[in-house]
Amino acid sequence: MRKKIVAGNWKMNLLDEEVINFIVDFNSRKNEIESDSEIIILPASIYLDTMISMPDWDIKIGAQNCSQFNNGAYTGEISAAMLRDFDYDSENLHYCLVGHSERREYFNEQNDVLAEKVNRLIENGLKPIYCCGEELQHRESESHFDWVQAQIEEGLFHLKEEELKQVVIAYEPVWAIGTGKTATSNQAQEMHAFIRSLIAKKYGDATANSISILYGGSCKPENASELFDQPDIDGGLIGGASLKVDSFIQIINSF
């Protein structure tokens, strides 16, 4: 059985007090959660400590980015080893996003650099949530499968089978992120099945069937159930709707 996952990507939102308020509110409503999916929150790195230190906070935590380098003169960067070191004892920090479309677009991160980030995370015992997804122009020119295939092959297919099993994939069509336009459940299912078939060709069916592939892009309480009902959609990477406890819990309960 593949793991079902609902992950909240907070991006560059929420200040310390808002982070604390979210957690206190979320914790007080834990009894409303009816789903057995794994819940992950990815706050800004500066607030990872706030989250890890909160009492009764047993939800998994992840970072939004890490450096492709091990260490050295890379001002402003945070290494995968630092993330690991940060929470070595309590082990709540399990994940890190890699290749979110905003990193690809605004920070010009290409597949080869992302492959290195994936390596650093795996070397340090953290699980990459590797994002892929086409822009509108690719879908309109019907090159979206080729585009996503290149992202998957160039970012992940250098991994050994056991390493790939540490990865969660998030398919996020760029035209659906933060725009209010969601991929239809058919469009999302079609791409998820395609990604799984690529993995099956390279690593075999058992590995392909063990990897969780999340959908992201304007996922909200109104459309989450239909998306999560699709056979190859194993959960969601949620942006805007993860910033409010109410909508986040409703999405978690959509499984």
Active site residues: 100, 172
User: Strand, helix or coil at 211?
Assistant: coil
In sequence order, the β-bridge partners of residue 102 are: none
Tell me the CA end-to-end span of the chain in Å, nearest whole number: 15
Q: Give the tokens for residue 128.
A: 């990459």
130 in Cβ contact with 162 (< 8 Å): no
118 in Cβ contact with 95 (< 8 Å): no
Cα gap 204→198, rounded to integer Å: 9
Selected from 8, 128, 173, 216, the binder of ligand PEP by CB under 6 A is 216
The set of residues, in sequence order, having a beta carbon less than 8 Å from that of 68 and lying 6+ positions away, is 113, 114, 116, 117, 120
Selected from 50, 212, 218, 254, the binder of ligand PEP by CB under 6 A is 218
Stretch that binds ligand PEP, among 26-34, 60-68, 198-206, 216-224 (CB under 6 A): 216-224
User: Under rule CB under 6 A, which residues in 155-214 are in contact with ligand PEP?
Assistant: 172, 177-178
* CA dihedral over 193, 207, 85, 119, signed as positive or negative: negative
Compare residues 79 and 218 and give the one whose CB is closer to ligand PEP: 218
Q: Give the tokens for residue 119.
A: 């390596």
Selected from 239, 247, 254, 255, the binder of ligand PEP by CB under 6 A is 239
User: Under rule CB under 6 A, which residues in 2-21 are in contact with ligand PEP?
Assistant: 9
Compare residues 62 and 239 and give the one whose CB is closer to ligand PEP: 239
User: Under rule CB under 6 A, which residues in 116-155 are in contact with ligand PEP?
Assistant: none
Least separation, in Å, of the C-beta of 95 and ligand PEP?
Answer: 13
Q: Does 114 bind ligand PEP (CB under 6 A)?
A: no
155 in Cβ contact with 101 (< 8 Å): no
Q: Does 238 bind ligand PEP (CB under 6 A)?
A: yes
Stretch that binds ligand PEP, among 24-32, 153-161, 196-204, 239-247 (CB under 6 A): 239-247
Positions touching ligand PEP (CB under 6 A) are: 9, 172, 177-178, 216-219, 237-241
